Amino acid sequence: MIKKIVIPAAGLGTRLLPTTKEIPKEMMPLFLQDKEGGISVKPLIQIIYEKFFRLGLREYCMIVGRQKRIIEDHFTSDQEFLKNFQKNSKHRIDLEKFYAMLNKTKLFWINQQNPNGFGDAVMYAESFVGNDDFLVIAGDTLLPKGDKIIKKLLSDKLSGKNDATLILK
């Protein structure tokens, strides 16, 4: 059974410069509309994390690079901030739910020293993965309406049909 996911987020983001000089592309905010029509704003990598969390994955390895400390900070529960924000704001915030998810997650951080590409970043996760089956998704790639694809991928792997599966668009 697949329990682990590797999320490389160490790229330089050069295609989105100058914006990505200050904020990693994985932390770019996306506007989401829920089933009730409400709007929330979340970083892209959080949306990816939450999607896989809802599918039952609880062990994550985030591979980050230079100037990506903001991602680690975001995935660290900050109860003091939450308390102050709720006290001083009239805006709806989903941080409580996000922090509750994080409390049920094993999160491992690996620093890719040099930007040597996606494959190199994934190789850094070898000690996290060991001999276990795992998924890899880029920290800047959203699979809209991808739950069906991911569930199929999981079921194919679980049934022993494939040693590896690659999804491309």
**Are the CB atoms for 43 and 26 separated by under 8 Å?**
yes
pLDDT grade, residue 47 (50/70/90)?
A: very high
Q: pTM to 2 decimals?
A: 0.86
Average pLDDT, the chain: 84
Res. 145: pLDDT tops 70: no
Which comes out higher in pLDDT, residue 163 or 70?
70
Q: What is the mean pLDDT of residues 27-35?
A: 86
Q: At what angle do helices 95-103 and 44-54 cross, to 10 degrees?
A: 60
**Are the CB atoms for 162 and 156 separated by under 8 Å?**
yes
Q: What is the mean pLDDT of residues 27-48?
A: 87
**Are the CB atoms for 59 and 5 separated by under 8 Å?**
yes
Domains of the chain listed by start with CATH number:
4-158 (3.90.550.10)
